A and B are shown apart, each in its own frame.
Chain A
């Protein structure tokens, strides 16, 4: 019934964001389809995180329109407190260090819903197991977790309210290739299971290649190329070429070309 309503999870039109005179995002347009995993790439300090934070209403914009799931986004309390609409995995996890893992996951549930203590425990354990951890990990404090576990717990917390969209800010940075691969697989599985739309800022060429349905390249404050990975590899834009055809990305190129 509601599937037919909107083909796009996120629509960004003519967006301008800047700090004083310095324009970071310059008349940018971007559509994220429902149920896809979109990877966003861009130079370090090029405004990827700014774009993500503007979409979720943390940073005020100077112009343009943003719609998420059909409702407009503004830089105000009402937007930011619209819990359950999206989950966000911050780069460092941003787990509350004074709460245990279980309490961290239960926090959005406790604040937004009216449910019994025992159900909350079961849901928290279910989420922990869904991200590949065990019920025993729930009693640990964030300071006792390894990097990969922190990311998993942060993902479990982001998914606590079953949001339609999750934003991931560099989900695999700081993980070893095996852990990063596992995390990519986890994102893919959860996306299929829960029917999520995933907006992922990343520099990890492997995850762009394996999990992302489409990749968007942000350069000079605009989206200069968007499409499946193979399409981006053929792009003629100089920055995109440099990004995907640099020394570090040789391994990703198709053998034929």
Chain B
């Protein structure tokens, strides 16, 4: 059915006669482009160009456009161009393509690269300050919603809160336990390996205990929750935003902050301390197992040393941080979700931003707490 396209040019006097033959269709586009660019220089010499279409078997938009381009090149050089022998079924197509691409596209202005760079920096600065504003706005709106709930306790969405608690708390337990268990085991192994050189293996218990309870337990769990639940929040709220569900809520006189965000953030605030506790225990358990099997320190000795090394203060320092980290994760996740625009790409971008930002803020917050606890001597 499809035949090889050809383009022959026969000059006779002032007239250059072009004879396209075969299938001038998309399937042969590579050949067609070569044929028409090969013939183009000859067009500039002839005073009149005649395109005889009688030999064309098949024609589609691409083929017709290439022929139209040839005849336009001739006319723009001040020559005459006629297209003859058009079969009836392709006449409409050729007429249509005579109309298109007539207007030259507006040239895009290339700016000064230095100014463009400065512009980028300026925009990034403004973006950063907008981020802070958005965070504070969300915090304010959340406090307002909490006040509303305190005034009318029945307006708290208990079902939603329970469901979110189930998702971010209960369902996260296995993975949180596994990861913290492994982290505890690795810290203990490394500690024993290096401390053994100084004959200080027994201090491994102090190290594991203090590190896990004060810092690592809560930090690792917070980072995992940011990746696991924060991203889910952003994606959920973002796709609700895209489908105008959040607008629908507001038009029904409901506050999206109270209906959607408050239960989610409260669930995180409840779940993160519990998860941190479970995680810390799992890490100590992992450390204890390694101390037993790798370091040769029996469980009784491990527990006794742990009892000496660790006080309730260490545990408090760790667990106090958890709700604040949960608040930061929740606020970042929700406000990024609300910033999603119409496209699928924007949903992906905001979800990534949400995770990156909340992990960053969690670590910054941990640093601030370290300074604070050091200065009050805890």
Q: Are B99 and A129 in contact (CB under 8 A)?
A: yes
Query: How many A-B residue pairs lie within 8 Å, measured between CB atoms?
Result: 80
Q: Which of A2, A113, A135, A143 contacts B29 (CB 8 A)?
A: A113
Most chain A beta-carbon contacts within 10 A, residue among B29, B65, B103: B29
Q: Are B103 and A135 in contact (CB under 8 A)?
A: yes
> What would 18 A/B residue contacts be, using CB atoms closer than 8 Å?
A2-B1, A84-B26, A112-B26, A119-B33, A119-B62, A122-B69, A122-B101, A123-B61, A123-B62, A126-B97, A129-B100, A130-B61, A135-B103, A143-B342, A159-B61, A162-B26, A193-B92, A193-B96
Q: Are A125 and B344 in contact (CB under 8 A)?
A: no
B251 at the interface (CB under 8 A from A): no
* Chain B residues whose C-beta falls within 8 Å of the C-beta of A129 in the assembled complex: 99-101
Q: Which residue of B has the minimal Cβ distance to A35? A: B89
Interface string of B28-60 (1 = CB under 8 A from A): 011001000000000000000000000001101
A39 at the interface (CB under 8 A from B): no
Assembled-state Cα–Cα distance A184/B93 (Å):
18
Q: Are A115 and B29 in contact (CB under 8 A)?
A: yes
CB A234 to nearest CB in B, in angstroms, measures 33
Hey, which bits of chain A sit against chain B, CB under 8 A? Answer: 1-2, 84, 97-98, 109, 112-116, 119, 122-123, 125-127, 129-130, 134-136, 141-143, 159, 161-162, 192-195
Q: Are B61 and A194 in contact (CB under 8 A)?
A: yes
Interface string of B333-344 (1 = CB under 8 A from A): 000000001111
Interface string of B73-111 (1 = CB under 8 A from A): 000000000000000010011011101110101100000
* Chain B residues whose C-beta falls within 8 Å of the C-beta of A112 in the assembled complex: 26
Q: Which of B25, B62, B89, B342 contacts A97 (CB 8 A)?
A: B342
* Chain B residues whose C-beta falls within 8 Å of the C-beta of A119 in the assembled complex: 29, 33, 62, 66
* Chain A residues whose C-beta falls within 8 Å of the C-beta of B14 in the assembled complex: none
CB B340 to nearest CB in A, in angstroms, measures 11
Interface string of B18-29 (1 = CB under 8 A from A): 000000011101
Q: Are A136 and B105 in contact (CB under 8 A)?
A: yes
Chain B interface secondary structure, helix, strand, loop or mixed? helix
* Chain A residues whose C-beta falls within 8 Å of the C-beta of B65 in the assembled complex: 122-123, 126
CB A139 to nearest CB in B, in angstroms, measures 9
Q: Which residue of B has the minimal Cβ distance to A116? A: B33
Q: Which of A1, A109, A116, A125 contacts B101 (CB 8 A)?
A: A125
B308 at the interface (CB under 8 A from A): no
Given contacts A1-B1, A142-B343, A193-B96, 14 further A-B contacts (CB under 8 A): A1-B57, A84-B26, A98-B343, A115-B33, A116-B33, A126-B61, A129-B99, A130-B96, A134-B103, A142-B342, A143-B341, A162-B25, A193-B92, A194-B61
Q: Which residue of B has the minimal Cβ distance to A143? A: B342
Most chain B beta-carbon contacts within 10 A, residue among A1, A126, A143: A126
Assembled-state Cα–Cα distance A127/B93 (Å):
12
Assembled-state Cα–Cα distance A76/B25 (Å):
26
* Chain A residues whose C-beta falls within 8 Å of the C-beta of B97 in the assembled complex: 126
CB B88 to nearest CB in A, in angstroms, measures 11
* Chain B residues whose C-beta falls within 8 Å of the C-beta of A115 in the assembled complex: 29-30, 33, 62
Assembled-state Cα–Cα distance A101/B69 (Å):
23
- The answer to whether residues A162 and B105 also contact, given A113-B26, A141-B343, A192-B92 and a CB cut-off of 8 A, is no
* Chain A residues whose C-beta falls within 8 Å of the C-beta of B101 in the assembled complex: 122, 125-126, 129, 135
Q: Are A97 and B344 in contact (CB under 8 A)?
A: yes
* Chain B residues whose C-beta falls within 8 Å of the C-beta of A192 in the assembled complex: 92
Most chain A beta-carbon contacts within 10 A, residue among B58, B61, B106, B342: B61
Q: Which residue of A has the minimal Cβ distance to B97? A: A126
Q: Which residue of A has the minimal Cβ distance to B92? A: A193
Q: Which of A123, A141, A161, A194 contacts B93 (CB 8 A)?
A: A194
- The answer to whether residues A136 and B106 also contact, given A126-B101, A193-B93 and a CB cut-off of 8 A, is yes
B residues 130-186 touching A (CB-CB < 8 Å): none
* Chain A residues whose C-beta falls within 8 Å of the C-beta of B25 in the assembled complex: 162
Assembled-state Cα–Cα distance A119/B34 (Å):
12
Q: Which residue of A has the minimal Cβ distance to B349? A: A98
- The answer to whether residues A162 and B61 also contact, given A115-B29, A142-B343, A192-B92 and a CB cut-off of 8 A, is yes
CB A70 to nearest CB in B, in angstroms, measures 10
Q: Which of A114, A141, A159, A195 contacts B30 (CB 8 A)?
A: A114
Assembled-state Cα–Cα distance A125/B99 (Å):
11
- The answer to whether residues A130 and B30 also contact, given A162-B61, A194-B93 and a CB cut-off of 8 A, is no
Q: Which residue of B has the minimal Cβ distance to A135? A: B105
* Chain A residues whose C-beta falls within 8 Å of the C-beta of B29 in the assembled complex: 113-115, 119
Most chain B beta-carbon contacts within 10 A, residue among A109, A159, A192, A193: A193
Q: Which residue of A has the minimal Cβ distance to B103? A: A135
Q: Are B26 and A97 in contact (CB under 8 A)?
A: no
* Chain A residues whose C-beta falls within 8 Å of the C-beta of B105 in the assembled complex: 125, 135-136
Q: Are A162 and B100 in contact (CB under 8 A)?
A: no
- The answer to whether residues A162 and B62 also contact, given A125-B101, A129-B101, A130-B100 and a CB cut-off of 8 A, is yes
Assembled-state Cα–Cα distance A135/B58 (Å):
27
- The answer to whether residues A97 and B61 also contact, given A116-B33, A129-B101, A194-B93 and a CB cut-off of 8 A, is no
Assembled-state Cα–Cα distance A84/B343 (Å):
27
Most chain A beta-carbon contacts within 10 A, residue among B58, B89, B95: B89
